[in-house]
Structure 1
């Protein structure tokens, strides 16, 4: 089993095209063709985690946060990032990051795990991403399956289903070519993946006559986007919910705005820094917004309309470790998968 088989599967769960523009998800160190000896999952690929991987005999580290966000001009060991990279190269350790692309998927994503911990029902993406391109592909029937596979590998499979229909009456196009029926595939996808989609289609043009038309769309996909919103099975008083939140998320403290005089029924969540979603949470009727990394002045934005509850960045994402363990171990049984025992939270609380 090679590393690329594991990473390809993870990218099927959370396609890289769903990551934010600032992100650096994917394979950061190591060769994709190396045999997997064992996998260690973590939030942060720190030096202590690298040592743990070596001790456990794991040569693939699957981390939520990328160890490298921006380019490195020197690798001298001066910073902790450089020291991690040096150790990874020295011990032939592969580091794979699955970050905002995992944040942005509805199924088996970071926010779905938070919603599960809080017992939310009727969940949906809080801020769906826009889907603004549609491609109609006219192809011989024999290429439908390989085309669909190629497009699925890119990550368009969750944007919209690929539809099939013959087009005998399509103006200017014949329904038959070389005695073979031609069909129409319709694919909708985010603009960010357009070059990859068109590249895949053009590769098949060398094998047969394939035509395509491109259209703009103004639609959204409900299964891709930021944050999540759901309902409690029964309304709770705000104080009781905050206590439950602290316990369920294993938070040392919860920073929050003033408690409002109404029960909590609808809850919005976003793992990590989610302040940019506050207006969406308010607009969709949430009584409380659970997230992290709020600054002092940003708390004023609650403005008596909602409770902001900041549980801490690490605390909001810590269950991603178990999520990744579950995803990998359920799919692969021919190597060991371990959850890190290193607590990588750089923030400590004096209570």
Structure 2
């Protein structure tokens, strides 16, 4: 199979036209006609994940977060320049599926991981998902449930609501959707929340839980399984950890 064949598989599941206007999903770098021998799936298109791919003999890297977010620079003293240089030198094609994957699958995967039932879209663009816990949980039990099912050691919580059953989930940075979901659910689970978002949880009587951005790493295993099934190629899974450590 060539790079374009893998791109076709990706876009059959996660159509590029679904991405947000500001997003840079899609083919990032490489030769579309290159034969693919082994793929690596990772959360971030960064140097550490690229190094993993090279060390494991992969010649295609598929990530959730693109590296082409900011103004493009080919200055090899920058991390972006070094990424491009190294990918070209080692013939590694790079493809990313970001907000298009979010809309189709990311928050479904996260909702299922937290054992939600009756999963449905929560707002107009279909990004946030909501569902019901099998039973009502108090605040502390719900927080511990999230830590266990999402494999996180620490979460940030705002609000005092103590009977939780309806839950909305948005992987990554979900602050923009607070107003859209707060009246539909008892708790909203997302990441990258700023200080003043917590005020709304108290004022509007819902629970706000920040589980961090890195919970999106769930996509590595899920996407790797899709690619193995549909490409018959060897697919490696990146093990790059969260950028942040909680000490």
Task: Map residues 335-346 of structure 1 onto 2, 5 A cutoff.
Answer: 335-343=233-241, 345-346=242-243
Name the structure 1 match of 2:103.
Answer: 104
Structure 2 unaligned blocks of 5 or more: none
Name the SS of the counterpart of 2:222 in structure 1: helix
Task: Map residues 1-351 of structure 1 onto 2, 5 A cutoff.
Answer: 1-72=1-72, 74-105=73-104, 109-129=105-125, 225-261=126-162, 263-284=163-184, 286-302=185-201, 303-314=203-214, 316-333=215-232, 335-343=233-241, 345-350=242-247
The structure with the largest strand share of the pair is 1
Q: Deviations over 1:157-206 (max 9, x none)?
A: xxxxxxxxxxxxxxxxxxxxxxxxxxxxxxxxxxxxxxxxxxxxxxxxxx
Q: Is the 1:239–1:259 Cα contact (8 Å) retained in structure 2?
A: no
**Structure 2: how far apart are the matches of 1:124 and 1:35?**
39
**Structure 2: how far apart are the matches of 1:338 and 1:80?**
23
Structure 1 ranges of 4+ moved more than 3 A: none
Largest Rg, 1 or 2: 1
The CA deviation at 1:308 is 0.5
Q: Is the 1:260–1:304 Cα contact (8 Å) retained in structure 2?
A: no
Name the SS of the counterpart of 1:283 in structure 2: coil
Name the structure 2 match of 1:190.
Answer: none
Name the structure 2 match of 1:209.
Answer: none
Name the SS of the counterpart of 1:71 in structure 2: coil
- When the two chains are superposed, the root-mean-square deviation of aligned CA atoms in Å is 1.2
Q: Deviations over 1:327-351 (max 9, x none)?
A: 1112121x210101222x221110x
TM-score, scaled relative to structure 1: 0.68
Q: How many residues align?
A: 246
The CA deviation at 1:282 is 1.7
